[in-house]
Amino acid sequence: MKLTVETWQNNSILRAKSTPVKQTELHLYRPLSEAMLTYIKNPKNKGIGLAAPQVGINKRIIVVGLPNNRDEDRYSIILMINPSITRKSDEKSVDEEWCLSLPGLMGNVERSREIEVEWLDIKGKKMKKTISGYGARVVQHEVDHLDGVMICDKFLK
Ligand code: ZN
Position 32: which residue type?
Answer: L
CA distance readout (Å), 85 to 62, 113, 116 = 13, 13, 6
| Distance from Cα 123 to the centre of ligand 1, integer Å | 25
92 in Cβ contact with 111 (< 8 Å):
yes
| Distance from Cα 12 to the centre of ligand 1, integer Å | 15
Specify the pTM: 0.95
Residue of 25, 34, 116, 142 with catalytic role: 142
pLDDT at 5 over 70: yes
Superfamily for the 11-153 domain: Peptide deformylase (3.90.45.10)
- In the chain, where the domains are located: 11-153
Task: Give the distance from CA 33 to its chain's centroid.
Answer: 12
pLDDT at 72 over 80: no
| Distance from Cα 142 to the centre of ligand 1, integer Å | 6
Q: Is 72 a catalytic residue?
A: no
Q: What is the mean pLDDT of residues 45-56?
A: 95
CA distance readout (Å), 144 to 51, 53, 61, 73 = 9, 11, 12, 25
pLDDT tens sequence across 15-32: 999 999 999 999 999 999
pLDDT at 148 over 90: yes
For the chain, the distance separating the N- and C-terminal CA atoms, rounded to the nearest angstrom, is: 39
